[in-house]
Structure 1
Amino acid sequence: MFPFSQQGAQSETPTFFTQEELNKLNSEFETGGVERIRHLLEKKVKELDNTELNIAVTGDSGAGKSTLINAMRGLCSEDEGAAAVGTTETTMEPTGYSHPTLPNVRYWDLPGIGSTEFTAGSYLKKMQFKKYDFFIIVSAGRFTENDAKLAKEIKRLGKKFYFVRSKIDADLYSMRQQRDEFDEEAEMGKIRSDCVSQLGKAGIPDPNVFLISSFVKNMYDFYWLMKALADGLPNIKKSVFVLALPNDSVEVIRKKGEILKKRIWMLAILSGGVGAIPVPGLSAACDIGIVIGAIIYFRKCLCLDDAALRRLAERTGTSVEVLKDAVKSSLLGELTAPVILRLGLGVVAVAVSVVEAFVYFIPGIGSIFGAGTSFGMTYWILNDALKLLMETAEKVLAVTKRAQ
């Protein structure tokens, strides 16, 4: 039996396949081998690449919606494409912001229901609620009855919602300045209890309220908010959401690595399918193309593309060249066949190409050899490349933390 399984499905890392899909893959492979399942895997890879995620952030003007959207995209207000902060809300239309490297992920700034004349039901219709995967309801102070009405309407329509109490760092700082003795944890508990109580009185029993600062993402509830958002999504969209997160911690980087690794065996099998086509040298050429395309995608997801590195360099007062030099990774430059071959494929690839030129003339042998070698080479080189990129991402994170 081909090794399609739900191993790790009980972990927090999402799997890309339903059990029905896995059963079909096993059945097809047993009856027809790699060629029989190739179209199924191509379809799945295309689905992964085209999956959209739309995140709605709503709240009244000044609640911190734009700052939260920028934080979730890994942007500062000065970055190109960032949502404008500190402006007066003048539009009653949703404003969309694409993820800087994964354009199928979009964040939508919706006007707070308190700033409109709509009822909760007509508000959601006007805001085209069906397109959103979930809603984040943001308040910089007390949640209002309108917030509760909106949440109930969202729930009635089968969507998830999350309450976020923003600017908690400013509130705690103000309290600290006014008191001789200050217990931050106790004060956060009081604020959380007050929010829960308000929403409970408005008809939202036992709501989860996240206290965050979009400027200090390693403190308060920002991590737990991101985890809750991910856990509330179905598997493929969960993977998309995690890959779109900024690299704020080693844990995020490693979680991304787990998700990206689940793609590798699919790409390797597709490479194996091409390797089975009896054309001398084709499998090696296609292996390089698949590898380069995958590494470019890995770099984007791990915030190692040039645009992401440029933003980090600007924040740390350095340059992209200095940042690249500090982490010393051969995978951050231009990717070409010679570069990939120097990473370790070199001698093996040349040897395989020569052997293929002979064995393809022997009926049956060439097809099996081509599929096996293409799968092995692609799987091996992409695993090594992903491991190296994850190590590079952790080095970049360490360098930027030291510079801050």
Structure 2
Amino acid sequence: MFICFRRDTMASSSQSIYFSQQEINELNSYEQGGLIMYAAQIKKKLNNMKNAKLNIAVTGDAGAGKSTFINAMRGLRGCDEGAAKTGTKETTMKRTPYKHPDFPNVCFWDLPGFGSLKFPMKDYVSKMEFTTYDFFIIISQNRFTENDANVAKVIKNLRKRFYFVRNKIDNDIRSLQGQGIVFNIKDKFDNVKQDLSHDLMGAGIAEPIVFLISSFSVHEFDFPRLKGQLINSLDGIKKDALLMSLRSTTVKIVEQKRAQLKKHIWMLATASAAVGALPVPGLSFAVDLGLIGTTIIDFRKIFGLDDASLQRLANVANTPVGNLKAVVRTPLVGEINEEFVKQMLVRSSFAAVSVVEIYLDFIPIIGSIFGAVSSFGMTYKLLTNILDELVENAHRVMKVAFPTDPGHP
């Protein structure tokens, strides 16, 4: 097995979302044929990506719906195991971590309501350890207060990002409808945002970013836009961590995951081609069967196609889980073992993929670093095919769970 490194085509660090300039220089330093050293660096990066930690603080006045929001971000209801406690009174007496059920390195921190006698502002920032979070969500169920603005100023001084979330907007709509008031939802939303932004600017917050959401409608109002903003506010490995943890509640999120995972595949193919590879009966080259099997399991979890994720989605969407499972048409959601992967490889229609096809399809983030090698090409094409098949099934599931999503064809 031989891989040719094209040192002249390595891209700059500005073109790479995962590698620093120093790491790119180190990769470039490996001479032709140094596949094992190169693959070791790639595996190290993959491991770092998988273990990346993301800490998100959720703060605001008591009763604003912080716990319900945290549950919504993790795809849980208040009655589910591991859910944050909810209630009309302040239920959080200390900062409390809630790990994602499938991606435990992503952690939401439920912070007590600030500005009360129990948590005066002068002590709140230090006791809540503000320096430890990657970004902040400041939640209110009505207007934002002076306390909200003061906390935002502290966060800004720490050079961290924060977002204002006006929760329970569905209650406002129901109240207007119950009174028989005729209104345009878009105009109403625009007016609410203008009023909230005006109050925050009056309190000294320049250009506040405000989202109107309902934690019980994760695919409606500004919830999808909020998720998009949070994703775009992060870079590299932390962006990956958040995106992969988000429930696939919209077509846009599913497609964002597809695009990001395509950037993973060339690294996975490199690791498969170079480390732990074993000959596969019926094929003329070696692949890492274990890595491919693990990747299938990881990918289907990311798209929410495993049994536990489908059940949680059914709960949130208020639809029978059987309706979701009925549109999942792929053997990739069944038992995955080395024998299953072997059969996939042998039956694969691209087992004899050509050198030209590999080169044309393979456009990695940091440049065209490989020539042709059958093991790499096979793994790359197989994983790409697996990704596309899971995405197709995820789209069908989303169409059943949330048929009003305008992203559906």
Tell me the secondary structure at the aligned position of residue 194 of structure 1: helix
1:347 and 1:249 map into 2 onto residues whose CA distance is 31
Tell me the secondary structure at the aligned position of residue 186 of structure 1: helix
**Against the structure 1 CA distance between its residues 225 and 402, is the aligned structure 2 distance closer, same or farther, given a 3 Å change threshold?**
closer
Query: Are 1:77 and 1:84, in contact at CA under 8 Å, matched by a contact in 2?
Result: yes
2:318 and 2:171 map into 1 onto residues whose CA distance is 24
1:270-281 aligned within 5 A: 270-274=271-275
Query: Are 2:13 and 2:21, in contact at CA under 8 Å, matched by a contact in 1?
Result: no
Corresponding position: 1:298 with 2:299: yes
Cα deviation for residue 303 of structure 1 reads: 0.9
1:102 and 1:35 map into 2 onto residues whose CA distance is 30
1:358-397 aligned within 5 A: 372-397=373-398
1:215 and 1:90 map into 2 onto residues whose CA distance is 19
Q: Normalized per residue, which structure has more helix? A: 1
1:4-403 aligned within 5 A: 4-5=10-11, 9=15, 15-28=17-30, 30-120=31-121, 122-274=123-275, 287-313=288-314, 318-319=320-321, 323-346=324-347, 372-401=373-402
**Against the structure 1 CA distance between its residues 228 and 347, is the aligned structure 2 distance closer, same or farther, given a 3 Å change threshold?**
closer
What is the CA RMSD across the aligned residues, in angstroms? 3.0
Query: Are 2:59 and 2:138, in contact at CA under 8 Å, matched by a contact in 1?
Result: yes
2:186 and 2:404 map into 1 onto residues whose CA distance is 29
Bigger drift between 322-331 and 310-319 goes to 310-319
Give the aligned residue type for 1:324.
K
**Against the structure 1 CA distance between its residues 242 and 377, is the aligned structure 2 distance closer, same or farther, given a 3 Å change threshold?**
same
Cα deviation for residue 350 of structure 1 reads: 10
Query: Are 1:327 and 1:392, in contact at CA under 8 Å, matched by a contact in 2?
Result: yes
**Against the structure 1 CA distance between its residues 107 and 164, is the aligned structure 2 distance closer, same or farther, given a 3 Å change threshold?**
same
1:229 and 1:116 map into 2 onto residues whose CA distance is 32
Tell me the secondary structure at the aligned position of residue 243 of structure 1: helix
Query: Are 2:350 and 2:381, in contact at CA under 8 Å, matched by a contact in 1?
Result: no
State the TM-score, normalizing by the size of structure 2: 0.83
Query: Are 1:250 and 1:394, in contact at CA under 8 Å, matched by a contact in 2?
Result: yes
**Against the structure 1 CA distance between its residues 319 and 134, is the aligned structure 2 distance closer, same or farther, given a 3 Å change threshold?**
closer
1:176 and 1:324 map into 2 onto residues whose CA distance is 36
Cα deviation for residue 323 of structure 1 reads: 4.2
**Against the structure 1 CA distance between its residues 17 and 81, is the aligned structure 2 distance closer, same or farther, given a 3 Å change threshold?**
same
Give the aligned residue type for 1:72.
M
Query: Are 1:61 and 1:89, in contact at CA under 8 Å, matched by a contact in 2?
Result: yes
**Against the structure 1 CA distance between its residues 25 and 392, is the aligned structure 2 distance closer, same or farther, given a 3 Å change threshold?**
same
Query: Are 2:97 and 2:109, in contact at CA under 8 Å, matched by a contact in 1?
Result: yes
Give the aligned residue type for 1:271.
S
Flag the structure with more relative contact order, 1 or 2, with Cα contacts below 8 A and sequence separation at least 6.
2
**Against the structure 1 CA distance between its residues 116 and 21, is the aligned structure 2 distance closer, same or farther, given a 3 Å change threshold?**
farther
Cα deviation for residue 175 of structure 1 reads: 2.3
Query: Are 1:120 and 1:153, in contact at CA under 8 Å, matched by a contact in 2?
Result: no
Give the aligned residue type for 1:17.
F
**Against the structure 1 CA distance between its residues 141 and 82, is the aligned structure 2 distance closer, same or farther, given a 3 Å change threshold?**
same
2:47 and 2:261 map into 1 onto residues whose CA distance is 15
**Against the structure 1 CA distance between its residues 118 and 323, is the aligned structure 2 distance closer, same or farther, given a 3 Å change threshold?**
closer
**Against the structure 1 CA distance between its residues 265 and 146, is the aligned structure 2 distance closer, same or farther, given a 3 Å change threshold?**
same
2:273 and 2:327 map into 1 onto residues whose CA distance is 37
Q: Which runs of 5+ in 2 are unaligned?
A: 1-5, 353-371
Q: Which runs of 5+ in 1 are unaligned?
A: 352-370
Who is 1:368 aligned against? none
1:178 and 1:197 map into 2 onto residues whose CA distance is 27
2:248 and 2:12 map into 1 onto residues whose CA distance is 27
Bigger drift between 38-47 and 340-349 goes to 340-349
2:197 and 2:321 map into 1 onto residues whose CA distance is 46
Bigger drift between 33-42 and 371-380 goes to 371-380
Query: Are 1:316 and 1:403, in contact at CA under 8 Å, matched by a contact in 2?
Result: no
Cα deviation for residue 26 of structure 1 reads: 2.7
Query: Are 1:143 and 1:199, in contact at CA under 8 Å, matched by a contact in 2?
Result: yes
Query: Are 2:113 and 2:119, in contact at CA under 8 Å, matched by a contact in 1?
Result: no
2:166 and 2:41 map into 1 onto residues whose CA distance is 44
Query: Are 1:213 and 1:222, in contact at CA under 8 Å, matched by a contact in 2?
Result: yes
Cα deviation for residue 343 of structure 1 reads: 2.8
